[in-house]
Amino acid sequence: MITKRNFNPLKVAQYVWRDVALAGGAATAVALVHQAGYLLALSFSPVAVLGTALAIFLAFRANTAFVRWQEGAQLWANIVNASRVFSRLIITFTDSHQHTAVYNQEVATRFKQEMLYRHLAWVNALRLQLRRQEIGTELTPFLPQPSDHDLVRTATNLPNLLLQKQGQEIYQAMATGVLQGFDSFQLEGQLAALSAAQANCERLKNIPIPRQYDYFTRLFVRLFVVVLPLFLVNTAVVDGSVWLILPLTLLIAFLFTTIERIAAVNEDPFENRLTDVPLTAICRDIERDLRAMLGEEKLPDPLLPQEGYLW
């Protein structure tokens, strides 16, 4: 996620230079042909209408992309909230049975730690899956049992199987008396909320904005910047030099292309890019919260923006 207010021009150029260069080439060609006397100046009115229509189309495209990015951020805010509630219920439900005959302090403590650490494994597994990154050994510190490590090696959807394991452990705890009464019902509700958040994240990742919007937006922008010099010739000549169409074309092309590229980047919030929802930082915040709830004092440092970017 970009946190700084000012942008590096070189990084911006990486996204738009091809279309701007195309526009510059078209403007140069039009100027040369016009100077040779083979090109008539055209009225600016038609391209003004086309530009207005394209601006409306781009505004719709940019708004749709922002809604997707904002939904991705909201889903992870929901995951943060559900993680805190789930962990709080695990701890308070377990501790509330201290007065019962079947309560075992060692077993209860181990249960709380394993459940919260396995949840941290789920959070980070979801992050890695959404970004299509290799898991490697990153989850090892959070996996308390050998069977959890087996899931990492064999699972096709690791976050889903980790949620399933959490459910199994809850009912195992009910059988041993670590959890009692109606504890499982409320914990299942939180697992359902986490599963729903995961499904919605997967929807954003796997179901893109309709491709016709992406394709035709890019096509219309490129056609517009290519034909634009034909309609700027008359204005440039009146203002004193046909070569004025070059800076005018580059400026307008940069404007339209930048808006189109912003929309294209924002529509996919889980691509491990600078413009992403900061999943790594969110996962670290969840880790700090849950480990603090367990009473741990040595917590990992929060992730802060580096050079204006938060991952």
- 47-89, pLDDT tens digit by residue? 888 888 888 888 888 898 999 999 999 999 999 999 999 999 9
Between 144 and 39, the higher pLDDT residue? 144
Q: CA–CA separation, 253 vs 188, rounded Å? A: 54
Whether pLDDT at 253 is above 80: yes
What global pTM score does this model have?
A: 0.88
pLDDT of amino acid 299 = 93
SS3 83: helix
Residue pair 69/266 in contact (Cβ under 8 Å)? The answer is yes
Dihedral (CA of 93, 295, 165, 82) sign: positive
pLDDT of amino acid 98 = 86
pLDDT of amino acid 39 = 64
Q: CA–CA separation, 116 vs 88, rounded Å? A: 10
Residue 10 banded pLDDT, cuts 50, 70, 90: confident
Whether pLDDT at 34 is above 80: no
pLDDT of amino acid 119 = 96
Whether pLDDT at 234 is above 80: no
Closest CA to 222 of 54, 110, 49, 38: 54
Q: CA–CA separation, 125 vs 159, rounded Å? A: 6
Closest CA to 265 of 62, 18, 129: 62
Instruction: Please compute Rg for the chain using Cα positions.
Output: 28
pLDDT of amino acid 273 = 87
Whether pLDDT at 213 is above 90: no
Altogether, the residues listed in the chain come to a count of 311
- Average pLDDT on 185-203 reads 95
Find the range with the poorest average confidence among 21-30, 76-85, 283-292: 21-30
Between 120 and 239, the higher pLDDT residue? 120
